[in-house]
Amino acid sequence: MKIAFESIRRGLREAIAHAEGRLPEAHVFHPRPVDVKALRASVGMTQEEFASRFGFSTATLRHWERGDRAPHGAALTLLNVIKHNPVAVIEALAA
């Protein structure tokens, strides 16, 4: 609970600073690299199932798994969330 409170408090301070015309210090999130093939295997899905379930094209997923390309931006963030709690992501996307 303390961690949640501190996060909310920090957010409110940033909002007040912004409203007063002061620029708050930016907190940049750098998602960790994800072994996409291992992640997909851990949730027990085929490439087609994984891509369809989470909104990636199968071709893109194949490139990530072969190492031709690396996920970045929102895709990498989503993959990190899937890695942390795949059930929550599946439930959220089903709603």
Task: Report how far residue 67's alpha carbon sits from residue 54's, in angstroms, rounded to the nearest whole number.
Answer: 19
Q: Does residue 21 sit in the same domain as residue 60?
A: no
Q: For residues 36 and 79, is the Cβ–Cβ distance under 8 A?
A: yes
64 CB neighbour count, 10 Å cutoff: 22
Q: Does residue 84 sit in the same domain as residue 45?
A: yes
Q: Does residue 14 sit in the same domain as residue 59?
A: no
Q: Is the pLDDT of residue 87 over 70?
A: yes
Q: Is the pLDDT of residue 18 over 90?
A: no
Domain extent, residue 3, equals 1-30
Question: For the chain, what is the radius of gyration of the CA atoms?
Answer: 17
Q: For residues 91 and 48, is the Cβ–Cβ distance under 8 A?
A: no
Task: Summarize pLDDT for 19-69 with one digit per residue, the tens.
Answer: 887 876 667 688 999 999 999 999 999 999 999 999 999 999 999 999 999
Q: Does residue 69 sit in the same domain as residue 45?
A: yes
Q: For residues 15 and 9, is the Cβ–Cβ distance under 8 A?
A: no
Domain total for the chain?
A: 2
Q: Does residue 48 sit in the same domain as residue 17?
A: no
Task: Report how far residue 35's alpha carbon sits from residue 80's, in angstroms, rounded to the nearest whole number.
Answer: 10
pTM, to two decimals = 0.71
Per-residue DSSP letter, 43: T
